[in-house]
Every structure is written in C-alpha cells, then in structure tokens.
Amino acid sequence: MGQISVELQESWISCVDLEKRLNTIAEISLRECSDFFVSVPVNGKLMVDSGVRLLSYLNQLSGLGKLVTINFEEGEDGTFGYMSRIGFFDFLDERVVTIPEKPEVTGAEIFKGGNSGVLEIIPIDPNSTERDEKLPTYLTNKLLSNFENELQKQSLEMPCFTFFAELIDNIYRHSETKNKGFIAFQVYPKRGSVKVTVSDSGVGLLNSLRPKIAEHYPKYMDSTDAELIEIMFSEGLSKDGIDKGCGLKTCAKHALKFHATLDVRLPHSIFHLVPMDTKIFGYAAQGSITETSLDFAGTHITLDITLDK
Amino acid sequence: MKQKGDTITFRDLMESEDGWGREQGVAVHSKLLSIIEQSSSLMFQISMKNVRRLDASFPRESIMDIARRYKGERGFCLIDISNPDLIDNLDAAAIKKEVPMYIWNNNEYQLIGVEPKLGVKMVLELALSKSSITAAEVSNELELKLNNASMKLKQLVTEGYLVRQEEIAPSGGKEFYYYRIK
C-alpha cells in the first residue's frame, strides 16, 4: 500500500486539466493506495467543475478508509477562498484533512444566494424519497438571471433546463449509491462562459447499463465501453428499457447547438464532445474517448458554454 | 358523423409551467389517459400554450407514451409550440417511443419522431394536403392500384401517421375515410 501524491497545475484548472493531471498516475491504483495527497499550488485556480469533481473524489476516497489530504499552498487566499465560497468545505467528508484547516464558517454560508453568477454546490441525495420538484426550474431561473440580453436568455433557457433536469434525474435514477451527488454552476464573465457541472459517486452510467444490455439491447452485447458511450449520446440507451434513455442524447444535442463542450467522466473512461468541423447529430462536433488511470466511481458531467457563439 | 377532435390543454394537467422527468410525466400520463378514455373522439389536439419548459423524459412518459398506446386507433398532435429547443426535446421523446407526432401551426405542419418509410411518403403527403381522403382518391391521384393504395393507407394508420373511420360513402356503401391528425 502506498501514497498517491498529485500536484495540480499553476493556472486555471478545469475538469479537463484535473483529469489530465490525475491520468499521469499509473503506478498505483486507488484500491492499492493507503493515502491520497493532492496539492493545489500557488496560482492554481480550481474552477467550479474541477472543484466539484475533486469534492466527489476526495469523499469517495475517505469513505474507502484512505487518508486524504488536500493542501492549498496559497493558504486562505486564492482558490481556498473560492472553494469556501462555493460550499466545497460544507460537503467535504470530515475525515479529509485540509491545509489550511476548513473555515469554521464558510463563504457559502455567509454569502449563499448573494451572487446570481454562482450556484453554490447543491447536494443531491439519491436516497431521498422527497426531492425538490422545482429544482431544475430554480437552477435555470438563477442561471438566466445573469443575462440581460433577452435573445441570449431565450437561447439558453431550454438547453440549460434540459441539462439540469436530465442530469439531476439521472442521479436519482441511476447512481445506485448512498453517496450524495452535487451540482453547481459558475458564470465567468471575463472568459465569456458558463460552466455547469453535475457529479455523482454512484456506479457510473456504463456499470448501471451493462447488466441490462443482454435484455434490452442484445445487438450491443459485445460493444466496448467506448462504443456504448457513443451510442448513449447518439441514440440513447437506458437500463430501464429501449423506450427510455434520451436524456444524454438531448443534452449533447443542446450542447452542440451552443458550440459548447461536454465532458463526461466515468470510472474507466472520459467522453469529451467538442464543436468541430465533422458532424454528429447534424451539428459540427467531434467526440473523443480516453481511458482513465484512476477509477473514481460515478458519473461526472460538465457543460462548458461559450456565450458569444 | 362522429366528432373528429378534442383539444386538451396540457398545462392544465401539469403542476407548474415546467415539466421534469419520468415521475412527473407518469402523473400527467394518468390524467391524459382519463380524459381520453372518457372521450369518443378519434383525434386529440394537445395545446402546449403556457407550457414553458420540458425536458425529454417528461413528454416521453406522458404525451408520447399515450400516442404509442393508441397508435393505429386514435391520433394526437401538438399545437401552440414554436420554441425549436422544446421541439428538439419532444422529437427525442417521440423517437424513443417510436411514434410520429405532428406539430401544427395553422395549416403548416412539422413532423417529429419516427420518419415515414419511403414507400408511403407520397401517399402521406397527399393525405396531409386534405382533411380526409379515401383509397379510391389516392388510387386516382397517384395512379396506384386500388388495393395498393388501400394497403399503404392502412400502413400509415398502423404506424400512427393517419387515423381512419368507416363511414357511409356517397354510394350508400361503407368506406374507410383516412384523416390527417390535426
């Protein structure tokens, strides 16, 4: 048993950057490691998507009994403050060691709801029998309140509602776990973009689907993970039957209308959809699938919308 | 002659102006079913007036499942929609339930969901240009044999593109009249 030690980048850190850095670890698996140490260097700026994924990953590891530490080298300035603001520490497993120590009162607790450009992390409890039926509406309205241009609002409205609705529903329906999932978004005015991110620590879409492939989709019995992911996004698949499973397909279609990127992280692979010159679903897009070296549980999805397109 | 169509205001069946997910869709499905079962109409226009947002799962489990249930017997179409993003979600829902669905805007239609097969497209286009049509009329206009025209029309009914009703023909005998779902 050994340690996994990761130092993140000294720059803006998106989920793509986070995964790239995690993917450099090949010599030891999560199962084999006894402790996990992640360091955010000075000038390292976690973005909302990498922050939310890291939250899920660290919670998973802690739940497995690993000794987990996250070190913010810049101290309470910089990205530590942002993590406090979005509620990272509010949902971080109490056994995770943080350097500096977690704030007694977080920025999320103080300022919650005070900035429409930030959606503080909302936990989604898949085991709850009562879910907030108005959650996708609330999230969509909050996100739209950041825009004054009516045309922009109208164009964002349905895609964002679809994204929130379908992906939160997936956590309830398919994650098959006691662990909470998370959703958050951040408007980046200088960057001219919005990131919406949903993360759960369940079994992952493919592991949820595979036991039912023989029953519902026998023609895909021998498909690889990569092939199944592509079919999931182009045709739609569901463990609940062939007449279900259109959520991801519609999310992808709406994402591409915006020339947005869609990043989906599963335990063993990452599917990344970017606008390009080739066509998928009639929109210019290219999908790539890469294997992951660390098999964190769950399904982690980020939609990155550039606002001027 | 039987009444051809009822209009259902979909918003009246929803808890709010937004529709989310399978559970909410199933709840509306029950209400829709109740209305349809109490009606003798052959066709239903579902007005989406004041419906603001729907994901794909909600209409899949409500409208499109109902359309599939009655495919070949009764017809459903949508009116009062113009948002192309909403139409995309409805389209995905219809495809999953393997049904066609018309969206009418005055006399213009958009067909979403399952596309008609090539062999019946011309017959469908002709049928959609009129409020009703018979096999004999199709046979004459498209220069098809009568039993071929009849077979194609019947296929369009079975697949949900048209509805039909047996009525008294001018000759005094009985004949099937095929109706566009509007």
Find out whether A124 and A180 touch, Cβ atoms under 8 Å.
yes
pLDDT-based confidence at residue B5 (cuts at 50, 70, 90): confident
Residues in A touching B83 (Cβ below 8 Å): 158
Could you give the 3-state DSSP secondary structure of residue B2? coil
So what's the ipTM on this one? 0.89
pLDDT tens digits along A100-151 = 999 988 988 888 878 878 888 999 998 887 889 999 999 999 999 988 889 8
Residue A278 region, left (φ>0) first, then alpha (ψ -120 to 50), else beta?
beta
The reply to whether B62 touches chain A by the CB within 8 Å rule is: no
Return the pLDDT at B98.
Answer: 96
Chain B residue with Cα closest to A255: B85
Residues 115-154 of B with CB under 8 A from A: none
The reply to whether B53 touches chain A by the CB within 8 Å rule is: yes
pLDDT tens digits along A51-61 = 999 999 999 99
Residue B29 has pLDDT above 80, yes or no: yes
**Residue B8 or residue A167, greater confidence:** B8
Return the pLDDT at A283.
Answer: 52
Mean of pLDDT over chain B: 95
B60 with A134: Cβ contact below 8 A: no
B20 with A136: Cβ contact below 8 A: yes
% of chain A residues with pLDDT over 70: 95
Residue contacts between A and B (CB atoms, under 8 Å): 81
Distance CA A178, CA A2 (A): 27
Which of A157, A165, A243 lies at the smallest CB-CB distance from B97? Answer: A243
pTM: 0.89
Which of A133, A169, A246 lies at the smallest CB-CB distance from B92? Answer: A246
A165 with B57: Cβ contact below 8 A: yes
Residues in B touching A257 (Cβ below 8 Å): 85
Distance CA A89, CA A106 (A): 7
Of A45, A59, A82, whose CA–CA distance to A179 is shortest? A59
B53 with A157: Cβ contact below 8 A: yes
Angle between helices A150-174 and B84-96 (to 10 degrees): 30
Q: B98 to chain A nearest CA, in Å? A: 8
A247 with B86: Cβ contact below 8 A: no
A158 with B53: Cβ contact below 8 A: yes
Residues in A touching B28 (Cβ below 8 Å): none
Tokens linked to A51: 């922050």
Residues in A touching B58 (Cβ below 8 Å): 165
pLDDT-based confidence at residue A308 (cuts at 50, 70, 90): low
Distance CA A120, CA A48 (A): 9
Residue type (1 letter), A265: R
Mean of pLDDT over chain A: 88
% of chain B residues with pLDDT over 70: 98
A158 with B85: Cβ contact below 8 A: yes
Chain A residue with Cα closest to B98: A243
pLDDT tens digits along B107-127 = 899 999 999 999 999 999 999
Find out whether A126 and A172 touch, Cβ atoms under 8 Å.
yes
Residues in A touching B21 (Cβ below 8 Å): 165, 169
Distance CA A292, CA B94 (A): 35
Residue A192 has pLDDT above 90, yes or no: no
Distance CA A165, CA A163 (A): 6
B20 with A137: Cβ contact below 8 A: yes
A162 with B56: Cβ contact below 8 A: yes
Residue A284 has pLDDT above 80, yes or no: no
Residue B3 has pLDDT above 50, yes or no: no
pLDDT tens digits along A4-63 = 999 999 999 999 999 999 999 988 888 889 999 999 999 999 999 999 999 999 999 999
Residues in B touching A244 (Cβ below 8 Å): 22, 57, 60, 96
